[in-house]
Amino acid sequence: MGLGDRVATWARAAARILDLAARPVRTAQGREGIVLQPYRGYGSRREVFLIGRVFRQSAPDGGGTDRLTAQLRDIGRRIARRAVAAAPVTARLGGAERRVETDRDGYFRIHLDLKDPPPADRPWHPMELRLEGEHPVQAEGPVFIPPEHCRFVVISDIDDTIMHTGVANKLAMLWRLFVEDAESRMAFPGVAALYRALHGGATGGQCNPMLYVSRAPWGIYDVLDTFFRLHGVPVGPVLFLREWGVSWRSPLPRRAEDHKQALIRNMLDLYHDLPFVLIGDSGQHDPEVYRQIVEENPGRVLAVLIRNVSRGEGRVREIEGLAMAVARAGSTMLLAADSAAMAEQAERLALVPPGTTAAVRQEMTREGGERTPSGTRRVRRPTPRGTAKAVAEGALRDAIDEGTPAAPPNVVVEAEDTARKP
């Protein structure tokens, strides 16, 4: 790549970063720059949840005519925007009404016990929101309520599971987000076809809930929303774990607290009559978190699918711990090299329609993600206890070591009686 090409690449990257950073703050919904911003909610026919934020931003001054000047000015407006604490917000849905106040960061959390279940002919329902005051602001927040014919709930990480962000390396993450072509390179090849199949279920029309979790800040909610739509990934509530709290006085992200366990536990309680499918990656804390969930909820987890993005010694130990917990619970775990392996396992467990693996492979080929097929090893013993013992004795580690960096193996861990389940 020549100097001119590198300059052009960085110019495009800078333009993307500026456009992204400026986009969420170009308009305000109320007077004096007040914004009432709801995020997608989720719930059941009994109760629903939704999170949003109220903040104040300065009005555009109208100065400057070129795009760069406008973008820099809008970024300044975003950084300087101020959370509105103790702001009263009223929510209405399904004959229920509740009034809450925003916290010190401007966030509000709605929990409504529904009196009248919403219509069952569609999964998305509008929650009416009103910011009370002398100049009230109104908005609608979409809430997903699964239909009665859904069969399971999918909880998926986003970072390095759906999109390749390299979240552990912030510089690499920024490069992949803004320098590489977002429309074609950020999503793992085949992931959209896989998630569409999981959403539709074995019949194609189950409309199974898709609940996504990310370590990213609320500030890139709109970016992820656009990403999902561009790549055809089924939308769902995007449940971030933290607010980074970036401001002029605090330019660095706040220390994160891992709320993923609490979020998943709440979902398990909400959808108490449904089993779950957990999808994550090996590079961060998913194996540790999912191990706790499986151990606390025996019989509730149909399968755990882990995308293999790290082969470090510490990660292998954590995956072994997860595999033992899954085996003892009588469930199944897959350590997957790519989306096709996940699709094959999901199809084998009758979570998706026949032909899903072929559709995922076709999408991978179109997206340039075709690779040398990885072999599949199985750690399988007659009983759950025997399978867990085999993992503890090194069977999973041996299976992983049989692969190469260019073609890491797919490894399935399950008991034989689990493998016979439809």
Say what the pLDDT of residue 166 is: 59
Element (H, E) at 378: strand 376-381
Which range among 162-171, 282-291, 299-308 shows the weakest confidence by mean pLDDT?
162-171
Same domain as 196, residue 321: yes
* Domain of 292, in residue numbers: 153-419
Same domain as 134, residue 167: no
Same domain as 293, residue 378: yes
Say what the pLDDT of residue 6 is: 61
85-103 pLDDT tens trace: 999 999 999 999 999 999 9
Same domain as 213, residue 127: no
Task: Look at residue 196 and tell me whether its pLDDT is greater than 70.
Answer: yes
Question: Rounded to an integer, what distance in angstroms lies between the CA atom of residue 332 and that of residue 413?
Answer: 6
12 or 265: which carries more pLDDT confidence? 265
- The mean predicted confidence, pLDDT, of the chain is 82
Same domain as 315, residue 240: yes
7-57 pLDDT tens trace: 666 666 566 555 655 555 545 566 678 889 999 999 999 999 999 999 887
pTM summary value? 0.84
Count CB-CB contacts under 10 A for residue 87.
22
Per DSSP, the residues of 287-354 read HHHHHHHHHHSTTTEEEEEEE-----HHHHHHHHHHHHHHHHTT-EEEEESSHHHHHHHHHHTTSS-T
236 or 274: which carries more pLDDT confidence? 274
Question: What total of structural domains would you count in the chain?
Answer: 2
Same domain as 178, residue 227: yes
State percent of the chain over pLDDT 90.
Answer: 52
289 or 405: which carries more pLDDT confidence? 289
Beta bridge partners of 128: 92, 140
Pick the last residue of a domain from 126, 144, 162.
144
Task: Look at residue 167 and tell me whether its pLDDT is greater than 70.
Answer: no
45-60 pLDDT tens trace: 999 999 999 988 766 5
Pick the last residue of a domain from 111, 144, 177.
144
Amino acid in the structure at residue 202? A
Same domain as 132, residue 206: no
Which range among 330-334, 365-369, 394-398 shows the weakest confidence by mean pLDDT?
365-369
Angle in degrees, CA 144, 150, 154, rounded to 5: 70
Say what the pLDDT of residue 85 is: 94
